[in-house]
Amino acid sequence: MFSDPGTCIVYDGDCPFCSQYVKLLRLRDAIGPVSLVNAREDHPAVHYAVSKGVDFDQEMALIMKGEIHSGADCMNRLALMSTGAGPFNAEMARVFASPRVSRALYPFLRTGRNLTLRLMGRRRIAEAAKPH
């Protein structure tokens, strides 16, 4: 059981888009401390999310007080929590504030991510995972 009472974002640290996205978010300004966890690392948040059905080869996850939001729902929640400060955050908040738009756009984001990782020669997270 992952018992961190705070907020945690689990993302693919090998994905340049995911890494830049979580670095540019200004969630700390809006909600306080946020842990950023690479889904390729051996971390309790990763194990907890996977045990709840999150596939990090297909989605990122937001864990708040044990509750998991992944994929399009994660993007929507992050947009709603963002301060909107700065052009990047303002645009992300505007675009992903709608759950319907988040669900419509997320498959394109995922496809772009997967294609980019393949072109970069990066292995899927499930393939790179070490046995526990």
Of the pLDDT bands very low, low, confident and very high (cuts 50, 70, 90), residue 30 is: low
| Percent of the chain residues past pLDDT 90, beyond the cut | 51
Report which residue type is found at 125: I
Q: How far apart are CA 17 and CA 92, in angstroms?
A: 13
Residue 35 lies in a domain: yes
Residue 111 lies in a domain: yes
Number of structural domains in the chain: 1
Does residue 2 fall inside a structural domain? no
Do residues 36 and 21 lie in contact, with contact meaning Cβ atoms separated by under 8 Å? no
- Per-residue pLDDT, 59: 94
Q: Cα torsion at 101, 104, 109, 110 (round to 10°)?
A: 140
Q: What is the 3-state secondary structure (H, E, C) of 95-112?
A: HHCCHHHHHHHHHHHHHH
- Per-residue pLDDT, averaged over 111-125, amounts to 91
Two tokens at 116? 């980019």
Task: Show the domain range for 41.
Answer: 7-120
Q: Does residue 83 fall inside a structural domain?
A: yes
